[in-house]
């Protein structure tokens, strides 16, 4: 199955689901009863048709298929793994952002991502960059720009 | 005409205050730096640097964002010339002759000429903008809701139909963006749409977060692939950054030819800097007396695209400022940012808040002068940033993306939306769905729906309002044309080459 086929199928599904839920939206109690429904239904129909068109076009396509046009399943490549780890780190960051405060959570997060791409070489640089960036951004935002960022626990700075 | 000049004078009074000169410089320099970094372009720059503009007030914010935009056009060429890697899409054409010049040991001339070409292209385009902006804004006052709806349809269709091979993907992206824009409480009827009972979604999805997700997170994730490539061997010692009289003689006609082309292409929805630069390059090659030198370090092949992409960035601001309708990814991001700051670009901006509109236009003259200085005498200093390994820089962009999101919404729930759209960004890349139509759809979606419904209310539900006036018919024709054109032009080319083959 090619990427185009996947796109077409997903678009069709989204189109139908979206169009259907638009169609079944509660009618408005004031103003025009269906004013909020016409436009999304048009969108849903359009998306469905686009998705189907892509599926049909992909079915009709002839000629040898390029391996690059289809997704590969199975083991993640190094690139894929790095993205996966970076996303996990990001989710972790979102979770500890408020409890740990901006500076600490950011040092941890940047440290993790920097370590991920740099590996064990230049650990000093990794730590230095993470710490300096976190403190620098904190100062810039909370002091110069006046945007409140979560504070560090206990020390409250 | 005099009116435009007196307004411009007012703009200069605003732009020449020390604080605004500082914002101009800041925006321009940061834009140059972001533009230099491969993979990150003006859209990412505006999105990531957005929180910086929160406290600046409308004038400062507008000036800074514009600075980031044209600054990125200046910066993009640096990496093209020195590393053969375009700093952003619009600098691709600069690689063709810029890098060969470096290989021949003429990096200084290339850097200097690209800065001067960018400067001239930007300046001439600014002058053009001064005289076009007001008539354009005035003309658009004639637009009713039906005209506005169709104008947005045209902008969207032209962007989605940009590439013939990916036309279906383009429209799918557009539809998806428009769908996201419908999420939330409907202001006209008070009905919740597509919120799945989640309270946070009632206010709608903040599109700026989606933009940061796709342009910052997605781009960084994608570039993890190249981050391990052995570090570039880059020239770091330079002589005087300048070019010879001979270089200038060859380049100035190219610059003057490329500027109007770039400006025009930029003002059209959909096209943008990359296309302007490529067209300018091809055009220059076809009129040149020695086309065989192109690709081997012909300096006019560097000057033309550089002038064109700067002119196009100014041209692209015109529909955004005067009509309130963006024609490219970057201007869409800017529009979203301005709406968030409580500014409504469009015809009324020029009459109601002339200091903002004209302050920005005036600041672009100043900014171009500043950037010429930054990119000529100080170029050798600035390009050292390129020697900072990507392995250090890209993680920092992630950090900036999160802080930007937090500054916009003050909640960590949006971090998950951000991460989600980072992933979607990778998926869009794999499935070849272009991002500009999606972003454009998301930004103009709710305005378009409102105009659409207003038009239908005005006409009591009759669709005739959408094809009743000259303007609407013209807009429909333009939309149809922009879909048909890519197919028609390739069919024409085929016929021509068949003919040539049979002769």
pLDDT digits (tens, 9 = 90+) for B199-244: 777 877 788 888 888 888 888 888 887 777 665 567 777 888 888 9
A 97-136 → B contacts, CB under 8 A: 97-98, 102, 106, 109-110, 113-114, 117-118, 125, 129, 133-134
Please give the Cα distance from B390 to B411 (Å, whole number): 29
* Closest-CA residue to B357 (of B344, B370, B368, B367): B344
Name the percent of chain A lying above pLDDT 70. 89
ipTM: 0.88
The partner residue sitting opposite A145, judged by closest CB among B54, B172, B221, is: B54
The partner residue sitting opposite B191, judged by closest CB among A25, A102, A134, is: A25
Q: Among A20-24, A143-147, B278-282, B296-300, which is the least confidently predicted range? A: A143-147
Please give the Cα distance from B33 to B388 (Å, whole number): 12
Per-residue confidence (pLDDT) for residue A130, from 0 to 100? 93
Neighbours of B197 (CB within 10 A): 7
pTM of the full structure = 0.84
8 Å CB contact between B375 and B79: no
Local confidence band at B63 (pLDDT 50, 70, 90 cut-offs): very high
Chain B partners of A137 at a C-beta cutoff of 8 Å? Answer: 399-400, 403
Chain A touched by B433 (CB under 8 Å): yes
Chain A partners of B179 at a C-beta cutoff of 8 Å? Answer: 14, 18, 40, 43-44, 47
Q: Which two tokens stand for residue A1?
A: 């199955």
Per-residue confidence (pLDDT) for residue B493, from 0 to 100? 82
Per-residue confidence (pLDDT) for residue B39, from 0 to 100? 72
From first CA to last CA, the distance across chain B in angstroms is 54
The partner residue sitting opposite B399, judged by closest CB among A44, A110, A147, is: A110
Beta strands of B34-109 (E only): which ranges? none
Please give the Cα distance from B161 to B270 (Å, whole number): 8
- The DSSP 8-state label assigned to residue A150 in this structure reads P
pLDDT digits (tens, 9 = 90+) for A8-46: 999 999 999 999 999 988 887 766 667 788 899 999 999
Per-residue confidence (pLDDT) for residue B400, from 0 to 100? 87
CA distances to B77, B313, B325, B338, B454 from B304, rounded to whole Å, are: 12, 15, 28, 32, 45
B 288-347 → A contacts, CB under 8 A: none
The partner residue sitting opposite B419, judged by closest CB among A31, A87, A137, is: A87
Dihedrals phi, psi of B192, to nearest 5 degrees: -80, 130
Q: Which two tokens stand for residue B465?
A: 């309002």
Sign of CA dihedral B352, B311, B142, B131: positive
The mean pLDDT of chain A is 86
Find the residue in A nearest to B56 (Cα). Answer: A145
Mutation pick from A6, A8, A11 vs chain B, by most beta carbons of B within 10 Å, is: A11
Per-residue confidence (pLDDT) for residue B208, from 0 to 100? 82
CA distances to B182, B322, B435 from B447, rounded to whole Å, are: 10, 15, 20
Please give the Cα distance from A2 to A8 (Å, whole number): 10
Query: How far does A157 lie from chain B, in Å, by closest CA?
Result: 17
Hey, what's the torsion of the CAs at B8, B306, B40, B101, to 10 degrees? -150
């Amino acid at each position: 199955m090619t990427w185009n086929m996947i796109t077409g199928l997903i678009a069709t599904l989204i189109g139908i689901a979206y169009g259907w839920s638009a169609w079944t939206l509660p009618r408005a109690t004031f103003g025009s009863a269906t004013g909020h429904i016409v436009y999304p239904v048009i969108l849903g129909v359009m998306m469905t048709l686009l998705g189907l068109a892509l599926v049909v076009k992909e079915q009709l396509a002839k000629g040898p298929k390029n391996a690059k046009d289809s997704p590969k399943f199975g083991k993640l490549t190094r690139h894929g793994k790095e993205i996966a780890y970076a996303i996990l780190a990001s989710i972790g960051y979102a979770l500890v952002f408020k409890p740990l405060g901006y500076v600490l959570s950011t040092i941890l997060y940047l440290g993790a991502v920097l370590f991920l791409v740099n590996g064990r070489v230049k650990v000093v640089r990794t730590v230095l960059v993470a710490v300096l960036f976190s403190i620098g951004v904190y100062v810039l935002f909370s002091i110069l720009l006046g945007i409140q960022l979560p504070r560090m626990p206990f020390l409250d700075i | 005409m005099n009116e435009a000049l007196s307004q411009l004078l007012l703009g200069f009074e605003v732009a020449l205050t020390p604080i605004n000169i500082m914002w101009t410089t800041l925006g321009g320099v940061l834009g140059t730096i972001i533009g230099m970094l491969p993979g990150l372009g003006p859209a990412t720059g505006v999105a990531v640097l957005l929180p910086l503009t929160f406290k600046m007030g409308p004038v400062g914010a507008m000036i800074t964002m514009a600075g980031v935009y044209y600054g990125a056009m200046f910066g993009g060429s640096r990496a093209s010339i020195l590393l053969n890697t375009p700093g952003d899409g619009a600098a691709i054409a600069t690689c063709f002759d810029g890098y060969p010049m470096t290989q021949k040991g003429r990096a200084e001339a290339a850097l200097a000429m690209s800065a001067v070409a960018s400067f001239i292209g930007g300046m001439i385009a600014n002058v053009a903008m001064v005289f076009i902006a007001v008539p354009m804004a005035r003309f658009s006052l004639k637009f009713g809701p039906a005209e506005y709806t169709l104008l947005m349809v045209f902008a969207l269709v032209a962007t989605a139909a940009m590439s013939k091979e990916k036309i279906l993907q383009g429209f799918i992206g557009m539809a998806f963006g428009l769908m996201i824009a419908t999420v939330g409480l409907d202001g006209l009827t008070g009905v919740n749409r597509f919120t799945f009972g989640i309270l946070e979604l009632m206010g709608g999805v903040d599109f700026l977060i989606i933009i940061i997700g796709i342009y910052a997170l997605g781009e960084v994730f994608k570039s993890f692939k190249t981050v391990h490539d052995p570090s570039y061997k880059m020239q770091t010692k330079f002589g005087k950054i300048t070019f010879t009289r001979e270089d200038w003689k060859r380049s100035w006609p190219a610059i003057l030819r490329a500027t109007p082309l770039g400006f025009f292409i930029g003002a059209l929805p959909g096209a943008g800097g990359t296309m302007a630069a490529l067209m300018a390059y091809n055009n220059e090659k076809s009129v040149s007396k020695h086309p065989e030198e192109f690709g081997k370090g012909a300096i006019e092949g560097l000057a033309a695209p550089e002038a064109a992409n700067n002119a196009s960035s100014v041209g692209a601001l015109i529909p955004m400022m005067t009509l309130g309708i963006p024609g490219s990814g970057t201007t869409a991001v800017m529009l979203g940012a301005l709406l968030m700051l409580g500014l409504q670009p469009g015809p009324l901006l020029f009459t109601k808040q002339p200091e903002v509109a004209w302050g920005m236009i005036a600041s672009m003259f100043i900014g171009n002068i500043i950037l010429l200085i930054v990119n000529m005498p100080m170029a050798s200093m600035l390009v050292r940033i390129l020697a900072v390994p990507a392995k250090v820089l890209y993680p920092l962009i992630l950090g900036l993306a999160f802080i930007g999101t937090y500054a916009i919404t003050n909640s960590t729930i949006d971090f998950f939306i951000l991460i989600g759209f980072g992933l979607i960004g990778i998926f869009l890349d794999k499935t070849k769905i272009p991002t500009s139509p999606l972003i454009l759809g998301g930004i103009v979606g709710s305005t378009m729906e409102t105009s659409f419904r207003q038009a239908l209310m005005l006409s009591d539900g009759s669709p005739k309002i959408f094809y009743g006036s000259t303007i609407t018919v013209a807009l429909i024709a333009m939309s149809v044309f922009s879909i048909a054109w890519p197919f028609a032009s390739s069919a024409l080319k085929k016929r021509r080459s068949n003919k040539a083959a049979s002769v």
